[in-house]
Structure 1
Amino acid sequence: MIYPQNFEQKIGFDKIRQLVIAKCLSPLGKERVESMAFSDRYGEVLEQLAQTDEFVRILQGETEFPSSYFFDVRSSLKRIRPEGTWLDEKELFDLKRSLQTISEIIRFFRPAGGEDSDFPYPALTVLVGDIPVFPSLISKIDAILDKYGKIKENASPELMRIRKEMTATMGSISRSLQSILRSAQSDGFVDKEVTPTMRDGRLMIPVAPAFKRKIRGIVHDESATGKTVFIEPEAVVEANNRIRELEGEERREILRILTEFTVIIRPLVPDILQSYEFMAEIDFIRAKALFSLQISAIKPQLVDGPLLDWNRAIHPLLYLSLQKQQKEVIPLDIALDETNRILVISGPNAGGKSVCLKTVGLLQYMLQCGLLIPIHESSRVGLFSRLFIDIGDEQSIENDLSTYSSHLTNMKFFVRNCDAHTILLIDEFGSGTEPQIGGAIAEALLIRFNRKGSFGVITTHYQNLKHFAENTPGVVNGAMLYDRHLMQPLFKLSIGNPGSSFAVEIARKIGLPEEVIAEASAKVGADYIDMDKYLQDIVRDKRYWENKRQNIRQQEKKLEQLASRYEEDLEAVHAQRKDILKEAKAEAQKILAETNARIEQTIREIKEAQAEKDRTKQIRSSLDDFKSSVLQTTEEDERIRRKMDKLKERKERKKEKPVVSKPAFNKQIIEVGDQVRLKGQTSAGTVMELQDKQATVAFGMIKSTVALDRLEKVSKGELKRETQKNGLVSAQLSDEMREKRLNFRQEIDVRGMRGEEALQAVTYFIDDAIQFGASKVRILHGTGTGILRQLIRDYLRATPGVRQFQDEHVQFGGAGITVVELE
């Protein structure tokens, strides 16, 4: 159920529909886009998403999809149902080409000799089913139509006779005219460059008016200027008349051929129309896939039930608009589940609250219409049975409705019809009337929405709704972030704390007199101003420390990986050195043996020659020196081994270092004076008072009453360690690393690259994946000759941090894609 009737217009889906229609090849697909509708059936939505996702892969693949002739001849086929009707040449030609296209599409999904289960497009292959094809009909059409769509001369014996006689008669006319023309030219009645001209289907000779009596024949026409008349010589009148008769006979024969052929087509019309329904569906899915590529959309993980767990969601229309301006959209991260179902977003005007709300509405509606959405692949998307929206000015003079009255009319419908499978999208909740009563009515409505278990995204400026969200299970605050120093919105959503409207800061920025600002501040009171300031400080500090914590974790992981890699490299160098030294010693022993043999031979020769003994001693001394120089390498090797042993001992001592016992720290018991923080948050506060299942906690200067089950106890040592860690990384490096992580995609395409270029790209990609903690990535290298695939896998085998790798599932690319699992 969708409410109100102009829901699509309010969220911008009408523009999405037109963009998809523009990508259709024929009216067949356009009709399907026009009838595209919201569905809450899990199986149906999953099937539609799978079909579009598979077609995206087809468009990205190397095999060209047949999409040449998507002609719509359904009206012509319906027209020939009565006896005696026929298809003309163009209609028959379009029918033949479109039937050929359907046959080619079916062959694409069911290749000859292939099994459906082996083909990587199962959802689309199911569509093929028992769609009829008409090879015999196509052959029969080819027998009577030429490649230009005209009836062939040999379509019937009678047509062949007529056209042969026409050709012979035209040749006779041409020869007669040429003879008459040459005679007239020699007599000076006609210029030398004049040639016979066709007028009204008859060949004639153009002549000056002064000489029209010189040529016997019939004057049929004259030029617009009156300087030329066109004469049909009497010698060719009968022949031209015969041509006219033959043309009539030709038309009648062609009509007879088409009428007889239509008799063959007529009983096949129901099956042909079924084939056109298949073509319409393919055109529709293809248009959706093209649009998905245009907006970088994907098929997210679909959950059968209400859920929003979105990472890096993007408003597609905003994306296309900013893309033309060479700007980037700031993505949206949002999560709504059974614990926190309703999100109350506050923040400054023009800070992105309405864009956030419209992004949720548009993407959820697109998904449940079977369209892929621009979102990160780690996201999970659920289904809702009802989508209700209240946004914009619905003032109506005809119905005597004010803006606020129209909002209340919508709220009445929401309260009566919402349930646990409803998502409510309400902009500026409670506005349009006196703030105090407007805020009270809005809070009363919010209580009922929450009681019915509905989901929702609600924007507001009212403080009472922020307090209600803070203290009510099922409802959570959210803030659109704002840079207080630069005085500009960041267009980022932060869930967990309310936002400030920055009314004073914005008023000061635009130049409102300071005395006006001061008087307004005095009227609302210091408490209100201070609370607004504290909200700004909390949001700022939370964003700062979350960025710090995230970047420190990245740096710690990187340092651990580097240390591990250096140890492995050192061991590898040691092993390599041992091998080299072993080979060197073997070579030295060989040389030594040869040298000994040579020296002994020399000694024998000296003895035989009765040489001096001193000479013999000198030779032996040189041999001993050579032995010592070779054996020194053994001592060097032993020294390296001792260094490695020391490194291992130091590592073991670090592991076995005894832990000094400390007083037990029980996280389950929270007492007055303990340091606590909201679960999932970083900012800590002090417990001031305990009341049954709630606690009063001081977060800086702000005191808040929070349910105990939303708090977790933290030790002072833990807070100190986190504070120390957060100071390790420079702000510049943190921002660079965060930007790089946000832009990291878990897939790389190296198809078409040379081996060395691809290997370098994969090396950088794997390094980044390990650094950012990715658990699984995909490398698209294609099949081809298999050389690129082998190079990449040889590199992966030798890379630390790669746990294993294998081919992608056959349905998603098979051997053309390597899936890498990282440690």
Structure 2
Amino acid sequence: MLYPKTIEQKLGFDKLRSWLHEACISPLGQYYVQKIKFSDNFGMVEKLVSQTAEMKQVLEVGENFPSQNYIDATPYLKQASIIGMQLSQEAFSDIKVSLNTINLCLSFFRKQEPGAYPLLSEYAQTIEINPLVTDSINRIFDDRGQVKDNASTELGRIRRKLLSEQAGIRKRLDSILRNAKQQGWIGDEVSLTVRNGRMVIPIVAEHKRKLKGFVHDESATGQTVFIEPTEIFETNNEIRELEYEERREVNRILQELTERIRPYVPELQKAYHFLGLLDFLRAKARLAQELSAINPTFIQKQQIEWHEARHPILHMSFKEAGKKVVPLHIELNEENRILIVSGPNAGGKSVALKTVGLIQYMYQCGLLVPLREDSTIGFFQNIFIDIGDEQSLENDLSTYSSHLTNMRHFLAMANKRTLFLIDEFGTGTEPGLGGAIAETILEELTQSGAYGMINTHYTNLKVLADNTKGLINGAMRFDGAHLEPIYELEIGRPGSSFAFEIASKIGLPKAVIQKAKEKLGTQQVSFEKLLKELDIERKVFAEKNTSLGIKERKLTQELAEYKKLKASLELNEKKLINEAKAKAKLLISDANQLIETTIREIKEKKAEKESTKAVRGKLEKFGQVALKPEVVVEEKPAEELYEIETGSIGPGDYVRIAGQNAIGQVLALRGKDVEISIGDLKSTIKLSRLEKVSRKAYKTATGDREVKALSKGIDLNERMMNFSFNLDLRGKRGEEALGTVDQFMDNAIMLGYDEVRLVHGKGDGILRTLIRNHLRGYKQVHEMYDEHADRGGSGVTIVKMK
């Protein structure tokens, strides 16, 4: 079921229907375009979309698939089915070329391997054109659609005689024309022409009586007359009679051919419906190519899991302008069936809503949809929408009454197989009452099990979505620094309307805005402020996550390289050990041989003193050279940064946390726990984790600053929860801003933030300069620079800590 009746116009599907109508070549395809309708039959939707996907594949493969002569010949076939009727030569010409196209299409699918295009190939197998039909037509007609001379023996005889007579009369007329030119009756540029189907000569009117013959016509000015000479009058009559005979013979041939194809009219009509379907599928496939559309995973249950969904009409218009549509990521499932989308006006909420409706409607009409390949599209039997102003003078309906009328239908008919879309839920009446009614209606729709998407500004609906099973918040992202929409849908958190910020941007007086905030109340203002800060923090942390991801990938790569290097070193070590063993073995062998030789020489020389001394010297020299150890230089360990002292630890002593560089002073001992102060931070550490250091080491670490005992403890958890790394200083005076900055920086340093963000606005740059000069006095500040241009530029200062 669809609601309302104008759903196609509201979603924009009528524009896609018009595009398809123009893309079809023949009225047969256009007939199918007019028959497009939303289907609530899962099998039918699957078949229609699969046919379109197969045709898109055919066009993308680039094979020689016919793209011309998709001619609708069904009116001719209806005429031929009537006994006694005769088809014209033009009709048979159209039938000839269109049947040729059908045969080429059938031949294309029959040549494909089994399973290539299963649906279209299966359909093509049901189409048959009797060869007798095409052979009979091809025997009679040539490629130009003219009846051939050899279509019959009699027609061949008539045309040969006709050509002979025409050639004879032309020779006689050429002779008469030359004589008339010589006599000066006509100009040299004049040539023969035809009037009333007869060959004539143009003669200047003043010489018309000099040439005997029949005047057939004269020019518009009367200066020229067209005369058929008397001597060719009879020949022209014979030619005219031959033409009549030719016509009668052609009609006889056409009558006979019509009777011959009459028995095959039913199967020909089926073939032309097949041709019309192919024309229609070609149009749908071309639309899919235009949209870069695909056939996503289709499941027989209610679900939306779309990645990079693009509004089809917006995509085509942006494509012509050379721009790109910002894609949406949308997910609705059993746990989160209804999406509550909030955010500022002109932020893209309505476009997102129509994107969901149009894509689902397109798919269940058999069209491919502009999604990413890994998307999943579910099946809905009902689509209800409430978009736009439906106030009616005839029915005496206001805008709000119209919305309530739609809601009445939604509540009565919505079920688990329904997809509903509501734009600007609850507007058109007093906000308090409208919000209450909208909340009650939303609760009822949630109970129905329906799936849907709702655009709203009401805070109570955002809170309801956060606390109700089946509902989930979503927001159209907005650049809070530039107050510009980003057109991205973020699911999981509500969005701010940025009403006050937009009012400031357009120049509404500050006093008016401040008074409005006071009237609204601190709770709502704080809620909007929190949403804005969350959006800014989300952007910053998203960038940090990206940076960490890059570092992690780099670390993984370096780790892999380290493992590879380690394996290589271990392999080299084994090789070196093996080489050393082999060398040692060889050395021992040489040494043994030398020793044996030495002993033999001593024995042979009978231990003569000088000879023995020389031999021993030779042996000692070999040992000194071969067995000389290599000098290995060991790196001395680096000196420890801090000198560790001995003795027990007591109050007032300086200590270091083992394995860290943090040094503090002992405030008190509590059994095995020690209370120490590190800078402005007081903490309790296990005694076993502390090492006693000298005062000199403490001064080196702290820069000669004395430790100041804290007069009272600090609740770090509370400060951490209440601290935001983003400080907005816009609108503050210099002295007030610097005081706020000091307090902010103290908390940031104590909590260990390595980066904070100060929003001071651009203006004349006075506040920015004042703040940055003040921050240069902080030893903990490493550097300051402008925020990225997309997030505030010089209107925001990023402070990095040491």
Please give the TM-score of this superposition, normalised by the length of structure 2.
Answer: 0.71
Which shifted more, 442-451 or 84-93? 84-93
- The residue number in structure 1 matching 2:520 is 524
Q: Equivalents in 1 of 2:275, 2:174: separation in Å?
A: 55
Correspondence 1:65-76 to 2 at 5 A: 65-76=65-76
1:264 alignment partner, SS class: helix
How many angstroms does 1:554 deviate by?
5.0
| Matches of 2:310 and 2:375, distance apart in 1 | 12
Q: In the alignment, what sits opposite 2:444?
A: 448
| Matching residue of 1:302 | 298
Find out whether 1:159 has 2:155 as its counterpart. yes
Cα distance in structure 2, aligned partners of 1:528 and 1:492: 24
Deviations 1:611-655 (A, max 9, x none): xxxxxxxxxx9xxx9xx99xxxxx9xxxxxxxxxxxxxxxxxxxx
Q: Note if 1:224 corresponds to 2:220.
A: yes
User: Deviation per CA, 1:245-282, whole angstroms, max 9, x where unpaired?
Assistant: 22222222111111110011111111011111111221
Determine the C-alpha separation between the residues in 1 that align with 2:125 and 2:332: 39
Q: Separation in 1 of the partners of 2:227 and 2:117?
A: 69
1:465 to 455, 461, 468: 461
Equivalent position to 1:402, from 381, 398, 401:
398
Matches of 2:524 and 2:496 in 1, distance apart?
11
* 1:133 and 2:129 are equivalent in the alignment: yes
Following superposition, the deviation at residue 173 of structure 1 comes to: 1.2
The aligned residue for residue 254 of structure 2 is: 258
What SS is found at the alignment partner of 2:209?
coil
Cα gap change, 1:396/1:576 in structure 2, threshold over 3 Å: closer, same or farther? farther
Report the Cα distance in structure 2 between the residues aligned to 1:574 and 1:229, rounded to whole angstroms. Answer: 113
Does residue 150 of structure 1 match 2:146?
yes
Instruction: Return the offset for 1:467.
Output: 1.4
- 2:387 equivalent in structure 1: 391
The answer to whether the 8 Å contact 1:306/1:384 transfers is yes
Change (3 A) 1:115 1:193: closer
Matches within 5 A, 1:701-712: none
Query: Equivalent residue for 2:8?
Result: 8
Q: CA deviation at 1:197?
A: 1.9
Distance 2:120 2:409 in 1: 40
Contact between 2:343 and 2:476, CA under 8 Å: does it hold in 1?
yes
What residue is the counterpart of 2:264 in the other structure? 268
Paired residues for 1:466-481 under 5 Å: 466-481=462-477
Instruction: Summarize deviations over 1:640-675 as a string: whole Å, max 9, x none.
Output: xxxxxxxxxxxxxxxxxxxxxxxxxxxxxxxxxxxx
The counterpart of 1:378, out of the listed 374, 378, 399, is 374
Pairing 1:483-522 to 2, within 5 Å after superposition: 483-522=479-518
Q: 1:536 aligns with which of 528, 532, 538?
A: 532
Identity of aligned residues (%): 45
Residue 548 of structure 2 corresponds to residue 552 of structure 1: yes
Q: 1:627-642 to 2 correspondence within 5 Å?
A: none
CA contact (8 A) 2:80 2:265 kept: no
Does the CA-based 8 Å contact 1:347-1:480 persist in structure 2? yes
Say if 1:473 and 1:735 are closer, same or farther in 2 by CA, change over 3 A.
farther
Q: Give the conservation status (yes or no) of the 8 Å contact 2:55–2:285.
A: yes
8 A Cα contact 1:549 1:726, kept in partner: no
Aligned to 2:316: 320
Q: What do residues 402-426 of structure 1 show as CA deviations (whole Å, max 9, x unaligned)?
A: 1111111110000000001111100
SS of the equivalent of 2:66 reads coil
Pairing 1:62-141 to 2, within 5 Å after superposition: 62-111=62-111, 115-117=113-115, 120-141=116-137
Report which stretch shifted further, 58-67 or 27-36. Answer: 58-67
Which amino acid in the other structure matches residue 515 of structure 2? E
Task: Name the residue aligned to 1:196.
Answer: 192
Instruction: Give 1:347 deviation, angstroms.
Output: 0.8
- 2:545 and 2:198 map into 1 onto residues whose CA distance is 91
Paired position in structure 1 for 2:701: none
* 2:314 maps to 1:292: no
| Farther off after superposition, 527-536 or 360-369 | 527-536
Distance 1:170 1:449 in 2: 86
User: Could you list the per-position Cα deviations for residues 579-619 of structure 1 after superposition, in whole angstroms to 9, with x for gaps in the alignment?
Assistant: 9xx9xxxxxxxxxxxxxxxxxxxxxxxxxxxxxxxxxxxxx
- Cα 1:225–1:519 change in 2 (3 A) is same
Number of matched pairs: 607
Q: 1:615-764 alignment to 2 at 5 Å?
A: none
The yes-or-no answer on 1:31 pairing with 2:27 is no
| Alignment partners' CA distance in 1, 2:445 and 2:228 | 91
Contact 1:552/1:726 (<8 A) preserved: no
Structure 2 Cα separation of the partners of residues 49 and 578 of structure 1: 64
For the pair 1:44 / 2:44, whether they are aligned, the reply is yes
Q: Is the contact made by 1:552 and 1:725 (CA closer than 8 Å) also made in structure 2?
A: no
Residues 453-501 of structure 1: CA distance to partner in whole angstroms, max 9, x if unpaired? 1111001111111111111111111111111111111111111221111
State the secondary structure of the residue aligned to 1:116. Answer: coil
1:575–1:158: structure 2 CA closer, same or farther, 3 Å change rule? farther
Q: CA deviation at 1:244?
A: 1.7
1:279 and 2:275 aligned? yes
In structure 1, what is the equivalent of residue 478 of structure 2? Answer: 482
Mapped contact 2:69–2:97 kept (Cα < 8 A)? yes
Tell me the secondary structure at the aligned position of residue 210 of structure 2. coil
| Structure 2 CA distance for partners of 1:498 and 1:188, relative to 1, 3 Å | closer
Residue of structure 2 in register with 1:350 after alignment: 346
Question: Which residues of structure 2 form unaligned runs of 5+?
Answer: 579-617, 631-715, 725-750, 758-782, 790-802
Q: Deviations along 1:5-41, whole A, 9 cap, x unmatched?
A: 0001101111111122222221111111221111233
Whether the 8 Å CA contact 1:443–1:465 is kept in 2: the answer is yes
The residue that corresponds to 1:767 in the other structure is none
Find the residue that maps to 1:224 and give its secondary structure: coil
The alpha-carbon deviation at position 49 of structure 1 amounts to: 2.3
Taking the aligned partners of 2:20 and 2:204, their CA distance within structure 1 comes to: 61
CA RMSD after TM alignment = 3.5
Residues 24, 30 of structure 2: 8 Å contact kept: yes
Say if 2:556 is the partner of 1:563.
Answer: no
Cα deviation code 1:538-557 (max 9, x no counterpart): 23323433453355235423
Q: Which amino acid aligns with 2:473?
A: N
One-letter code of the match for 2:94? Answer: D
Shift of 1:526: 2.1
- Distance change >3 Å, CA 69–CA 568, structure 1 → 2: farther
SS of residue paired to 1:328? coil
- 303, 327, 331: which is aligned to 2:327? 331
Tell me the secondary structure at the aligned position of residue 401 of structure 1.
Answer: coil
Larger Rg: 2
Note if contact 1:344-1:457 (Cα within 8 Å) is conserved in structure 2.
yes
Find the residue that maps to 2:23 and give its secondary structure: coil
- The 8 Å contact of residues 545 and 726 in structure 1, kept in 2 or not, is answered as no
Q: CA deviation at 1:578?
A: 11
Post-superposition offset of 1:177: 1.5
**What secondary structure does 2:477 align onto?**
strand
Query: Aligned to 1:102, what secondary structure does the other structure show?
Result: helix
Residues 497 and 539 of structure 1 are in contact (CA less than 8 Å); yes or no, is this contact kept in structure 2?
no
Q: What is the CA–CA distance in structure 1 between the aligned matches of 2:569 and 2:117, rounded to whole Å?
A: 49
- Distance 1:501-1:54 versus aligned 2 partners, 3 A rule: same
Report if aligned partners of 1:534, 1:701 keep a CA contact under 8 Å in 2: no
Structure 1 runs of 4+ aligned residues shifted over 4 Å read 565-579, 698-702, 721-727
Q: CA-to-partner distance for each residue in 1:146-175, whole Å, 9 max, x for gaps?
A: 111011111112211221221121122112
- Once the two structures are TM-superposed, the CA of residue 228 in structure 1 deviates from its matched residue by 1.5
Separation in 1 of the partners of 2:752 and 2:370?
Answer: 35
Alpha-carbon contact 1:90-1:149 (below 8 Å) kept? yes
Q: Which amino acid aligns with 1:357?
A: L
TM-score, normalised relative to structure 1: 0.69
Give the Cα–Cα distance (whole angstroms) in 1 for the partners of residues 752 and 252 of structure 2. 91
Deviation track 1:299-339 (CA, whole Å, cap 9, x = no partner) reads 11112111011111111111112222222211101111110
